[in-house]
Amino acid sequence: MLLHIPNVLSADEVAYFRSRLAGAGWADGKRTAGYQSAQAKDNAQLPEADPVARELGGRVLDALGRSPLFFSAVLPRRIFPPLFNRYAGGQSFGFHVDNAIRYERGANGAQVPVRTDVSTTLFLSSPDEYDGGELVIQDTYGTQRVKLPAGDLVVYPGTSLHEVTPVTRGARLASFFWTQSLVRDAGQRRELFELDRAIQRLTVAAPGDPALVQLTGVYHNLLRRWSDA
């Protein structure tokens, strides 16, 4: 499932992110790529331990906590700490599939595996600020070209083949991260999301309808069956 979630960050929040990123210590993005991905990757990225990356990553997580749509669609179990990248001067990232497992550093220094069920890109540059830089995603639903307003994000299956096209004018700033979902299977997550949205619409259209109790029970019983929590 590919889903556009608008206004995850407000205009003021985007402006703050941009001001912090303007003087950040960008590094070659190839340093964080696997062998195959490094052959296609040409961008700048904030190191994971950079204080700006840690601060803004925490703010991204706070913003996600205010987004019921994100939680309904993704059903997060663990979110890999958000990272930040920058494309300019013709930089791009050719077609690739994200690594199946990322390792987050735990409180005691241990490496904690995070299965990358869902990929997310949070746009921090407005579309009119740069040319190119589209996120092109190929999956069973076809090929989608994504270029969203600043503060909006897109979620899509981590199994998808995707690329970022060359940025030929301006700069494209974004945050990106992965989520290990409570429900591993993308088709099952989509069915639960559609059921949850239907329940929410029925709650508004027909509050007190006995069908709401039945549908809510179906939702939670399916989640109980499919979850690997």
CATH (residue range 3-181)? 2.60.120.620
The Cα–Cα gap between 170 and 19 comes to 16
Q: Has residue 55 got a pLDDT over 70?
A: yes
Annotation: CATH topology of 186-226:
DNA Excision Repair, Uvrb; Chain A (4.10.860)
Please give the backbone phi and psi of residue 9, each rounded to the nearest 5 degrees, phi first.
Answer: -115, 140
Q: If we measure between CA atoms, which residue out of 92, 82, 88, 99 comes closest to residue 41?
A: 92
Where do the structural domains in the chain lie, given as residue ranges? 3-181, 186-226
Q: Is 172 annotated as a binding residue?
A: yes
Please compute the mean of the pLDDT values over residues 31-55 and round it to a whole number: 85
Q: Is 220 annotated as a binding residue?
A: no
Q: Is 190 annotated as a binding residue?
A: no
Predicted local distance difference test score (pLDDT) of residue 20: 98
Q: Has residue 31 got a pLDDT over 80?
A: no
Q: How confident is the model at residue 110 (pLDDT cuts 50, 70, 90)?
A: confident
Predicted local distance difference test score (pLDDT) of residue 190: 97
The Cα–Cα gap between 226 and 229 comes to 9
Per-position b or e across 61-91, b if 16+ CB within 10 A of its CB? eebbeebebbebbbbbbbbbbbbbbbbbeeb
Query: By CB neighbour count within 10 A (0-12 exposed, 13-18 middle, 19+ buried), where does 228 fall?
Result: exposed
Q: How confident is the model at residue 58 (pLDDT cuts 50, 70, 90)?
A: very high
Write out pLDDT tens, residues 71-90: 999 999 999 999 999 999 99
Q: How confident is the model at residue 97 (pLDDT cuts 50, 70, 90)?
A: very high
Asked whether the domain spanning 186-226 has the same topology as the one spanning 3-181, the reply is no
Which residues are within 8 A (CB) of 98 and not within 5 positions of it... i.e. 6 or more apart? 116, 119, 158, 178
Angle at 7 between CA 5 and CA 11, to 5 degrees: 155
Q: How confident is the model at residue 30 (pLDDT cuts 50, 70, 90)?
A: confident
Which residues are within 8 A (CB) of 27 and not within 5 positions of it... i.e. 6 or more apart? 44, 45, 46, 47
Where does residue 109 fall: left (phi above 0), alpha (psi -120 to 50 degrees), or beta otherwise?
Answer: left
Q: Is 18 annotated as a binding residue?
A: no
User: Which pTM value belongs to this model?
Assistant: 0.94
Specify the range with the lowest mean pLDDT, choosing from 28-32, 201-205, 213-217: 28-32
Q: How confident is the model at residue 106 (pLDDT cuts 50, 70, 90)?
A: confident
